Chains A and B, each alone.
Chain A
């Protein structure tokens, strides 16, 4: 791969990915451990004629990016636990009004102020269900700088394709890990640009009338078409409606557009799954340790593999079941009390074979931790 070699933190790799994807507007509020994303973009965005604003809080940040996205810009915000909690209402608005945007949540220990400077993966369920009401959401993550870069680009692509918010669920360890990153040449990675309507100005444009393929071409807000955008249930004009058929149609449209495309949206990596009797399932920084352990044990002839999930939501249960069908043991390793573990248990044919190897004390799960926890699970003692 050609490109520019850099030595950066995960948070900066995310910035590089966002800029590569065409980010033009960022609004944010300082919070550990995500602040470097805002700092870096405050410097980089105006250099390309983009805009950066530090808002008065995370609520305002989320609202500002939605407003900017509507006008046609690719947008993003970044935050951590408490800030992510504050963003939930506006996140629901972006889901309802179908406004593309990317939210990076560099996870820290919660609940509340929790562990501001320590890694955690406790927002897996919040990212899925944080905003009220039935809805669909896309949540992605990665375990090394190159993947953080790539998945950030993918987040923008998915956001544009499905007119949806996409959450990048990183964690403190990943955000602050310095390692190499190659930023590829322009055009090497395909970008999805906004699908704009072909309806001419002065002609009736229906902002919420899906095409045959289910996609909704947008018209840059403030441009040649005047329309209404609302967080209420709305008709094809974007005007509020309480008509049961309209409400039912919209909620299914909003959830189906993600659920029906779970195969396309889902990204994952697998290592030695084919003949593995023990399968580790992990994501984010924890997957680094899991991979390290798997490589170590493979050298010793153990039949162990790793399934690294990069798309957490929509949850691809069929994929998990398929990959785990021959495994004697499935161990989910994550820095929480089993948020993804429970999903895996529901998905597989043999839930009794699924175990959790976790830490929730703010300490990163090391390969040795995984080794020891596996020995305990297998009844071999530490």
Chain B
């Protein structure tokens, strides 16, 4: 199927600002769908609230645009009822790790088969540039006009510790890698987390003098390095990208089938 067959053309143009990285994530995701040749009827996309969450409306799959931070909980209900469907949950940094942080760690702990995408632009864009739990110490935002004293989560470490069985990080500069990671995550059974560093030139960029969208994307190239590379030893400040965790553990809905089996014996 051609890429354009995966989108709902009548709902374009999209709402994202010029230079926003979310469109690049959409692009990589659609390419992943195309490469995997999955039927649109087998994909469910559940999103919350924020710029990132609007991604679901543009894709011609089953789309559930929910409330702030709770997309994973809605997705859990869908997946429990229809385990055969592919669940994809794109979230922003606030959606996934501030208001939705609890659902995030518990979905990971259960290892329920959901592909969670954290579109990390380090800012609340929809509301106009407030700091998020991923903005990081020393950044500026409308709600941190002097300096942000909140430390950022490391999404990869958090997902690892919470029990996600596939954990990866990439950036909007590395669109091909992003697409490959999405494919890998969709094919895997279990809770997958892909953190995508994405640019918000309008708010994060402007507040933090990070330059244009192009400058920001370039910085993802300059400031990241493949997992386990020598460069990381020489420059510890570099952010690693690639696959951090990849392990096979029993998936939640399959485990629940065992509960049903046991329960039926006790009837």
Enumerate chain A interface residues (CB-CB to B < 8 A): 24-25, 27, 43, 46-47, 49, 51, 53, 55-57, 59-61, 63-73, 75, 89-90, 93, 221-224, 226-232, 239-240
Contacts and interface: CB of A to CB of B under 8 A. Distances in A.
A318 B102 CA distance: 46
A56 B75 contact: no
Interface of B: 11, 40-41, 44, 46, 56-57, 60-67, 70, 73-82, 85, 102-103, 106, 256, 259-260, 262-264, 266-267
Contacts of B73: 55, 59-61, 63-64, 67
B80 A51 contact: yes
Nearest to A72: B81
27 contacts: A27-B76, A46-B263, A47-B266, A49-B264, A57-B102, A59-B73, A60-B73, A60-B103, A60-B106, A63-B73, A63-B76, A64-B74, A66-B66, A67-B46, A67-B79, A73-B81, A221-B78, A222-B41, A222-B82, A226-B40, A226-B63, A227-B62, A228-B56, A229-B65, A231-B67, A239-B11, A240-B57
A231 B66 contact: yes
Contacts of A231: 65-67
**What are the 8 tightest A-B residue pairs by CB atom distance, in nearest-first order?**
A67-B77, A64-B77, A46-B263, A63-B73, A60-B73, A68-B77, A230-B65, A67-B74
Nearest to A25: B81
A191 to B, nearest CB: 19
B70 A60 contact: yes
Contacts, number: 126
A89 B266 CA distance: 38
Contacts of A65: 77
Nearest to B106: A56
A93 B73 CA distance: 13
Contact of B263 (A27, A47, A73, A75): A47
Nearest to B63: A228
A228 B47 CA distance: 11
Contact of B78 (A49, A53, A70): A70
Given A222-B44, A230-B65, A68 B106 contact: no
A32 B64 CA distance: 32
A53 B80 contact: yes
A25 B102 CA distance: 22
Nearest to A49: B260
Given A55-B76, A226-B41, A46 B81 contact: no
B67 to A, nearest CB: 5
B70 A68 contact: no
Nearest to A93: B67
Contacts of A51: 80-81, 256
Given A229-B65, A230-B57, 13 more contacts: A60-B106, A63-B74, A66-B74, A67-B64, A68-B78, A68-B80, A68-B81, A71-B81, A226-B40, A228-B57, A228-B64, A230-B65, A240-B57
A51 B252 CA distance: 12
A232 B65 contact: yes
Q: Which DSSP category, helix, strand, loop or mixed, fits chain A's interface?
A: mixed
Contacts of A61: 73
Given A56-B103, A64-B76, A226 B259 contact: no
A229 B70 CA distance: 14
A30 to B, nearest CB: 15
A72 B82 CA distance: 10
Contacts of B256: 46, 51, 53
B80 A63 contact: no
Nearest to A46: B263
A224 B41 contact: yes
B261 to A, nearest CB: 8
A68 B63 CA distance: 14
Contacts of B267: 47
Contacts of B264: 46-47, 49
Contacts of B62: 221-222, 226-227
Contacts of B65: 228-232, 240
A71 B78 contact: yes
Contact of B80 (A64, A227, A232, A239): A64
B103 A25 contact: no
A61 B102 CA distance: 13
Contacts of A90: 67, 70
Contacts of B266: 47
A66 B81 CA distance: 11
A47 B261 CA distance: 8
A249 B194 CA distance: 40
Q: Which residue, of B46, B66, B85, B266, has the highest number of chain A Cβ atoms within 10 A?
A: B66
